[in-house]
Amino acid sequence: MKAHESDPTARHDNHELSERARKNLWLEVTRMGSFSPEHEIPVIVRGEGTYLWDANGNRYFDGLSALYTNQLGYGRRDIADVAATQIMELSYFPLWTYAHPRAIELAEKIASLAPEGLNRVFFSTGGGDAVESAWKLSRQYHRLRGETSRYKVISRNVAYHGTTMGALAITSVDAYRENFQPLTPGGVKVTNTDFYHAAEFGNDHKAFGLWSAGQIEEAILREGPETVAAVFLEPVQNAGGCFVPPPGYWQEVRTICDRHGVILVSDEVICAFGRLGTWFGAQKYDYIPDIICCAKGITSGYAPLGAIIVADRIAEPFLRGDTTFSHGFTYAGHPVSCAVALKSIEIMETEGVLENVLNNEDYFQSSLESLLELPIVGDVRGAGYFWGVELVKDKKTKMPFVGEEAHHLLRNFVVPEMFRRGLYCRVDDRGETVVQLAPPLISTREDINFMADTLRRVFEGAQKKFLSE
């Protein structure tokens, strides 16, 4: 069956489900008022392999792994079986004072895969609470060492790190922040690594990397090193469209953090568990952070789970005497989620999933780069199975689409056109105007061809409508 062919077994009524959703369901980060009986909420009812079906029986290729979660594809019986077995053995028990076998095994497994020296795993339920946990842990770590004034956190412009009040102070997307002022104090912003719009550096990626890392040091010095607890960065920044680190960037940031006693947190909520072709993003770019935040792909999206992986030297003062990290969540390290994560990691190992990403990384890149011949495509950037395509109004000047025009282009044209052609992925105008691709890690070259061909057709249509001759 080709993408977007109908599924004859579908027994759903999208209109009816949409109307029921409109009465009682509150969608996350969604303009609820934009739906009506005529403009229905799309309802996804089923997944199998790399495909999804909506309630009308239409099939879509999942170009975003749901929400950067689904590494292994949908509907795996072997994962369902371990979840069912775990429910019968021990459906739930907290990690408050007690331990359970699956959390012990998963912590061991994660430590064995993580960069050297990161051996202590504190579980959460997802990404935002992993980020919260890392910030709070950093603050308490400094306190335990007598540095009580270190509470601030440095993160990059346009970056997204979650929406809870603490994580929101680290997130830099205005749209998420503006209604919730005053925010938790201590969030400090620095430049991101958007090389495409850094014209003054010409082709010199290395100089740009050193300069942007230097901005972090400037911020630390400006704020006062004795007030800064941590720096939070993603290996590849998602919001804004897959900003990759320039060569030498991470190594320079590591040196700066060491120089000023600041904890370096690698927020790998998207990048960990194979998204970049390595277990962790830190391994792709060859640095050792003090804390890694992860979630999403840890269970391949089959159950909610997050974690922070902490370096021995940061964990050490917490393991003495009567010290407690006074922080936790009822469902952190849920046994069913841990069992699912263990199975998902095992499958990734036995089925060569990381190898699949690495084997196809260059092919994915060149397929997307072939779109650069279109006037509307300004830049293609990313790594592994994590790519962004930036759309521009004028390629020579790199002029972006902005405001209502960007909204109209993305939301009223690109998204419905991709959907109509059987491709589910994501558009983003939190920074520049980008289309984001992050397919399941089992996707093949045929799947990559489908994504690139579909985008080509959609962008050709967009050019006719949105670019003047």
Closest distance of CB 98 from ligand PLP, Å:
25
Residues 6 or more apart whose Cβ sits within 8 Å of residue 6: 56, 57, 58, 59
Interaction with ligand PLP in 130-149: which residues (CB under 6 A)?
A: 131
Say whether residue 428 binds ligand PLP (CB under 6 A): no
Of the residues 63, 126, 187, 335, which one makes contact with ligand PLP according to CB under 6 A: 126
Looking at the Cβ atoms of 253 and 269, the one nearer to ligand PLP is 269
Looking at the Cβ atoms of 154 and 452, the one nearer to ligand PLP is 154
Residues 6 or more apart whose Cβ sits within 8 Å of residue 409: 391, 401, 433, 462, 466
Closest distance of CB 203 from ligand PLP, Å:
29
SS3 283: helix
Say whether residue 361 binds ligand PLP (CB under 6 A): no
Instruction: Name the closest residue to ligand PLP (Cβ).
Output: 127
Task: Return d(Cα 192, Cα 327) in angstroms, integer.
Answer: 30
Report phi then psi at 311, rounded to 5.
-65, 145
228, 154 Cβ separation under 8 angstroms: yes
For residue 182, cis peptide bond before it (omega within 30 degrees of 0):
yes
Residue type present at position 330? T
Looking at the Cβ atoms of 186 and 306, the one nearer to ligand PLP is 306
Intra-chain end-to-end CA distance of the chain, in Å: 38
Report phi then psi at 224, rounded to 5.
100, 110
Closest distance of CB 6 from ligand PLP, Å:
32
In the numeric block, the tokens 């999403």 are attached to 296
Closest distance of CB 338 from ligand PLP, Å:
17
335, 93 Cβ separation under 8 angstroms: yes
Looking at the Cβ atoms of 47 and 162, the one nearer to ligand PLP is 162
Say whether residue 71 binds ligand PLP (CB under 6 A): no
Closest distance of CB 248 from ligand PLP, Å:
22
Of the residues 47, 63, 73, 128, which one makes contact with ligand PLP according to CB under 6 A: 128
Looking at the Cβ atoms of 162 and 422, the one nearer to ligand PLP is 162
Q: Which of 407, 278, 264, 270 is nearest to 355 (CA)?
A: 278
Of the residues 63, 73, 162, 384, which one makes contact with ligand PLP according to CB under 6 A: 162
Site string for ligand PLP, 276-295 (x = CB under 6 A): -------------------x
Closest distance of CB 126 from ligand PLP, Å:
3
Say whether residue 62 binds ligand PLP (CB under 6 A): no
| Overall residue count recorded for the chain in this entry | 469
**157 burial type by CB count under 10 A (0-12 exposed, 13-18 middle, 19+ buried):** middle
Of the residues 71, 172, 238, 443, which one makes contact with ligand PLP according to CB under 6 A: 238
Looking at the Cβ atoms of 297 and 422, the one nearer to ligand PLP is 297
Say whether residue 265 binds ligand PLP (CB under 6 A): no
Closest distance of CB 265 from ligand PLP, Å:
10
CA-to-CA separations, 317 to 137, 141, 143, 285, 305, in angstroms, rounded: 11, 7, 10, 29, 26
Q: Which residues bind ligand PLP (CB under 6 A)?
A: 126-128, 131, 160-162, 234, 238, 267, 269-270, 295
